[in-house]
Amino acid sequence: PRCPPGQALSLALVAALWGTTGPWLRAGAEERRGPRGLLEELRLLGLNRRFLLPFLLNQAGSLLFYLTLASTDLSLAVPLCNSLALIVTLVTGKILGEDIGGKRAVAGMLLTMLGVSLCLAGAEGAAGADPGADPEADPGADPRQQELIQGSRS
């Protein structure tokens, strides 16, 4: 499955929206103090623009993700968005002064980027492969595979 540039850009935008809004949502939600009922909590969060704006941007990312899934391979879109969102969340949290975990977080980000690279490389490699191709029609096909096909037809 190949990911065209427009879809890749949409998935990167989703990851950016999800990743940047997480730390801002935490910061906006921390302003409330003390236990409250559900309706009171919803009212206070709904009136708090430091919470509401990141929440709406996060939901816009979810909507874009949903729309992008209609034309993107699910096995590529989900890991790509979630892993990139994690990296963006850590970077945004660091910028906002959150403790992101030091060297272990950096190692995790590097491993995540390696995983995303492997995922994309695998998708590019699979784009040229046609699992439904007839080996007989392919002169470069494995001769043993051609023998098996010939033997099964006899």
Whether pLDDT at 65 is above 90: yes
- How confident is residue 71, by pLDDT bands cut at 50, 70 and 90? confident
H-state helical runs in 2-154: 5-29, 38-47, 49-69, 74-95, 103-127, 143-153
- 60/48 Cα distance (integer angstroms): 18
Q: What amino acid is encoded at 114 in this protein?
A: L
pLDDT at position 110: 87
pLDDT at position 130: 53
Spatial CB neighbours of 80, under 8 Å, sequence gap ≥ 6 = 3, 11, 15, 116, 119, 120
- How confident is residue 52, by pLDDT bands cut at 50, 70 and 90? confident
- How confident is residue 76, by pLDDT bands cut at 50, 70 and 90? confident
- How confident is residue 121, by pLDDT bands cut at 50, 70 and 90? confident
- 24/51 Cα distance (integer angstroms): 7
Cα maximum dimension of the chain? 79
**How crowded is the C-beta side of 1, counted as CA atoms within 13 Å?**
12
Averaged pLDDT, 130-141:
53
Closest by CA position to 69, among listed 124, 118, 120, 14: 14
Domain ranges of the chain: 5-153
